[in-house]
Structure 1
Amino acid sequence: MDEKRTLFGMELPYFILVSAITAAAMYLGYLPKGMVGAFPVMIFMGVILNVIGDHAPVIKTYFGGGAIVCIFASAWMCWQHLLPTGTIKVITSFMKGEGFLDFYIAALITGSMLSMNRKLLIKAAFRYMPAILGGVAVALGLAGFIGAVSGYGALKAVLFIAIPIMGGGMGAGAVPLSQIFGAGMDASPEKILSIMVPAVALGNALSIVAGGLLDRVGKVKPHLTGNGQMLRAYDAASEENSLETQQERDTWDKIDVKIMGVGLFTATGFMIWGILISKLFPSIHYYAWMILSVALCKAFDLVPSSICRGCYQWFQFIMKNFTAPLLIGIGVAYTDMGTIVQSLSPIYILLVVATVLGAIIGSGLVGYLVGFYPIEASITAGLCMSNMGGTGDVAVLSASHRMVVMPFAQISSRIGGAFMLLLSSLILQIMK
């Protein structure tokens, strides 16, 4: 099958046929409620808008490509009343009342963390995590300082701009953060997310540009970079032993539909566990409890490899098939274009710049102190925190010509993003 003539794995005529039937049901007012109606609408809109974003030159290079287009275009369509009210209600109910957002996040957190190499996870906590913490501290501090002196508000700048930028993108960052803040501050998650979304998009764009600039700095100041080598005292054997072999990865990538069911059961089980713990300790959001539980289970090797593999395959299925539809749901149910337009201002953009700059400075300095080359530390522990998750990692590392450090970038996106959710819960608890 010619992939250039397919969409969503379907030959183009069939995709158009199913999409046309769905669109007819939407505008005639016959779209069924629940997932039966929501899925086809979100899939056909998500696939089309994702393709547009991934092929728009400036958008695909600097603004996250299809992810941004899915969110903003669908939100704009709602704002301009181009989507039927009934369709908006079906999608909103599916995202909120029927829990599709939690369903997606459960797969994302469980699958991404349980599929990490255990040795790399433990090793990261002792050496790489300080570099991440350095970047986070300076990014939040600088944004808070500028927010205070500008009159924007230090706490507002940190909570609604700096933390979302450093939080791991949209699906694993801004969206759960808006839920955590909404619950902790008794505020509307929709309005909070509308402030966060442009910050995440701008932060991603600046991170990609900064990756290219750091590569140039490395050429001018070669003593600051290892040209893709992280450690100044490099131990190739140790590095090799800390990573999974290609043979192991090939085994995990062999799809087994039955074991994917194990992943579904485990992911939702971890989510329920997080909810139960949050009932005993309600000051911390159940996402945070879930993340802690998954990380500890992986670190202490409490989950059998077969279950980890199932969670990985379920996570891959969800991520590859439902990310674009989820972003449509975020645009429709959680993104208020009116609030976004009102929030953009010169000081807002300055705060985004300060956050990304702080991530570069903090991670570079601390990374150097723990034995990394500062440019590699700034790119992985800094910019791969301030970009938009996995797609942002690829863009930043491509711009900086350092794809070889992708395992460290993934630690930033997975563990670093999870850490920001935990940090947010703690900050909200301190505020009370």
Structure 2
Amino acid sequence: MSLPIASGSSAASAVEQPTRSRKTLWTQAMETRIGIIPLPVYVLLLVLITAFSIKGKISGEVTVMVGVIVAGGFTCAEIGRRIPFLRAIGGSSLVTIFLPSFLVAHQLLPAPLVQSVTAFTKSTNFIYLFITAVVVGSILSMDRRVLIQGFAKIFIPLGLGSLAGITVGGCVGWLVGIGFWRSILYVVVPVMAGGVGEGAIPLSVGYAEALGADQGRMLGQILPLVFFGNLVAIVVCGALNTLGRRRPDLTGNGQLQPGPGEVGDPEKHDAAHSNTTSIDVATVAAGGITGVAIYILGTLIHSLIGLPAPVAMLFLIVAVKILNGVPAPLAEGTRVVFRFFVIAVTYPLLFCTAVALTPWHELVEAFHPANLVTIVATVIALVATGYYVGRLLKMYPIETAIVNACHSGLGGTGDVMILTAAERMELMPFAQVATRIGGALTVTAAIVAMAHFKVL
């Protein structure tokens, strides 16, 4: 009895099938991503980082640090995205901000890794590169008329929101036993001061001089409230993002108000937020270096007149846009740089900020019931006022509410955190107005009031 002999084509088919199957599995693995990282690359990064951490030899060079913070940032974001309730209030950003801080405080991350990330974060200070890319790209990709109207209008909900936050915070603080003026000066104002470097520190110096007190003790009293106010704003804006998904009529998905001819035409609006482009690489690079040059000019203005460099940059780029100083292809190049930073850099930036600059104990110290209630009431008053006033002004209410929330943010870092939770990084120019200009006015008024009333 003879056995059947496989034909050449059948034999080849039998050999190719496992190969094709392996290729399919590998392709599927490479197409599965943790954030932006293909799964096999992600696993390789984790193995390498673990190995170098065990050896205690994590290099601080930029290439290695990029691998570490990208893996750390997108791991935290993926965890937050998969927690059912948390993801509805900005879980990805919340976990990326606070989990690394908790792990550092309890010594659950390898010390060499923490030291390398901290040194890299503080030496590069690359949050300003991030803010530059976002502010320049978002402004130059806006419709010129929308930009002018937006900046003209945003001060109305912001100013009214500040008054509402101060009034509501003072009243709630009085009801819970802190006292009306003490609530305003020691709880509400720190939350609305604009962060640490340009808010809490000058505020503590001014208070200490007015009262003849120790500046270090005053700063220690103020800092926890600043961190907790930022946390409340993150949670509220995460909830606003969820509301925007359910009620698309209330949101411009990152645009402050409808542009000319844009109502009922979502395709025109979506073009500004697209992740695809036909622009050439050289023009994208030109857009990036244009933003860097404008920021450096902002630092020069800061050295001459003391205006913070990000604010100077903001004014400069708005002037350039209003005067049509950048041709359309170059503006598109800055938009591509902006989208790259939003997609690829946001979570790594939050991760390294959490490791290096977000002390866990500062947040925990703010958990006094009276403080908590007062801070929550202040932030909600800010946000609610922005929502309703924005609606009256025919702006998108969710966007104006988010900008107002940034008034209770932790400076530039806080703006990144809040806008990440809201998934509206396009609002960064307006957030900078709320945080830096609003914060500076708040701090100045509070120091004058403290010198006059001397509230202990």
| TM-score, normalising length: structure 1 | 0.76
Q: Is the 8 A contact 2:419 2:427 kept in 1?
A: no
Matched residue, 1:150: 178
- 2:295 equivalent to 1:271: yes
Cα distance per residue 1:330-349 (max 9 Å; x no partner):
11111111121111222232
Give the alignment of 1:129-140 within 5 angstroms: 129-140=155-166
The residue type equivalent to 2:292 in the other structure is T
The residue type equivalent to 1:15 in the other structure is Y
Partner SS, residue 123 of structure 2: coil
Matched residue, 1:405: none
Matched residue, 1:88: 114
CA deviation after TM superposition for structure 1 residue 237, in Å: 6.5
Give the alignment of 1:23-38 within 5 angstroms: 23-38=50-65
Give the alignment of 1:340-359 within 5 angstroms: 340-359=363-382
Q: Is the 8 A contact 1:285 1:425 kept in 2?
A: no
Larger Rg: 2
Cα distance per residue 1:183-228 (max 9 Å; x no partner):
6456899997764343223233345557889999x9xxxxxxx964
Partner SS, residue 325 of structure 2: coil
Which ranges of structure 1 fall in alignment gaps of 5 or more residues?
165-176, 219-225, 395-408
CA deviation after TM superposition for structure 1 residue 129, in Å: 4.5
- From the superposition, tell whether residues 143 and 293 of structure 1 become closer, same or farther in structure 2 (CA, over 3 Å): farther
User: Which stretch has the larger CA shift, 143-152 or 345-354?
Assistant: 143-152
Partner SS, residue 314 of structure 1: helix
CA deviation after TM superposition for structure 1 residue 119, in Å: 1.2
Partner SS, residue 278 of structure 2: coil
Distance in 1 between residues matched to 2:172 and 2:328, nearest whole Å: 47
Partner SS, residue 57 of structure 1: coil
- From the superposition, tell whether residues 315 and 206 of structure 1 become closer, same or farther in structure 2 (CA, over 3 Å): closer
Matched residue, 2:268: 245
- 2:405 equivalent to 1:386: yes
Q: Is the 8 A contact 1:95 1:329 kept in 2?
A: yes
Give the alignment of 1:407-422 within 5 angstroms: 414-422=429-437
Partner SS, residue 272 of structure 1: helix
Q: Is the 8 A contact 2:311 2:432 kept in 1?
A: no
Cα distance per residue 1:20-58 (max 9 Å; x no partner):
112211231111123233221111111111100011112
Q: Is the 8 A contact 1:75 1:336 kept in 2?
A: yes
CA deviation after TM superposition for structure 1 residue 255, in Å: 5.6
CA deviation after TM superposition for structure 1 residue 60, in Å: 0.8
Distance in 2 between residues matched to 1:38 and 1:16, nearest whole Å: 16
- Percent identity for Structure 1 against Structure 2: 21
The residue type equivalent to 1:179 in the other structure is G
Number of aligned positions between the proteins? 389
Q: Is the 8 A contact 2:91 2:421 kept in 1?
A: no
Matched residue, 2:348: 325
- 2:99 equivalent to 1:73: yes
- 2:77 equivalent to 1:50: yes
- From the superposition, tell whether residues 251 and 416 of structure 1 become closer, same or farther in structure 2 (CA, over 3 Å): closer
CA deviation after TM superposition for structure 1 residue 106, in Å: 1.8
Distance in 1 between residues matched to 2:240 and 2:421, nearest whole Å: 12
User: Which stretch has the larger CA shift, 332-341 or 139-148?
Assistant: 139-148
The residue type equivalent to 2:347 in the other structure is A
CA deviation after TM superposition for structure 1 residue 276, in Å: 0.7
Q: 1:298 aligns with which of 321, 328, 332?
A: 321
The residue type equivalent to 2:87 in the other structure is K
Distance in 1 between residues matched to 2:266 and 2:59, nearest whole Å: 47
- 2:247 equivalent to 1:203: no
Q: Is the 8 A contact 1:45 1:328 kept in 2?
A: yes
- From the superposition, tell whether residues 386 and 303 of structure 1 become closer, same or farther in structure 2 (CA, over 3 Å): same
The residue type equivalent to 2:99 in the other structure is A
Q: Is the 8 A contact 1:162 1:352 kept in 2?
A: no
Q: Is the 8 A contact 1:53 1:65 kept in 2?
A: yes
- 2:199 equivalent to 1:181: yes
Distance in 1 between residues matched to 2:289 and 2:221, nearest whole Å: 32
- From the superposition, tell whether residues 123 and 343 of structure 1 become closer, same or farther in structure 2 (CA, over 3 Å): same
| TM-score, normalising length: structure 2 | 0.72
Q: Is the 8 A contact 1:359 1:383 kept in 2?
A: no
Distance in 1 between residues matched to 2:149 and 2:232, nearest whole Å: 32
- From the superposition, tell whether residues 273 and 241 of structure 1 become closer, same or farther in structure 2 (CA, over 3 Å): farther
Q: Is the 8 A contact 1:101 1:326 kept in 2?
A: yes
CA deviation after TM superposition for structure 1 residue 14, in Å: 2.7
Cα distance per residue 1:3-23 (max 9 Å; x no partner):
773234443223211221122
Distance in 1 between residues matched to 2:250 and 2:40, nearest whole Å: 45
Q: Is the 8 A contact 1:143 1:162 kept in 2?
A: no
- From the superposition, tell whether residues 210 and 105 of structure 1 become closer, same or farther in structure 2 (CA, over 3 Å): closer
Which ranges of structure 2 fall in alignment gaps of 5 or more residues?
1-26, 206-214, 407-416, 449-456
Matched residue, 1:124: 150
Q: Is the 8 A contact 2:314 2:429 kept in 1?
A: no
Matched residue, 1:258: 282
Distance in 1 between residues matched to 2:159 and 2:315, nearest whole Å: 17
Q: Is the 8 A contact 1:390 1:413 kept in 2?
A: yes
Partner SS, residue 31 of structure 1: coil
Distance in 2 between residues matched to 1:334 and 1:150, nearest whole Å: 29
Computed over aligned residues only, the root mean square deviation of the Cα atoms, in angstroms, reads: 3.9
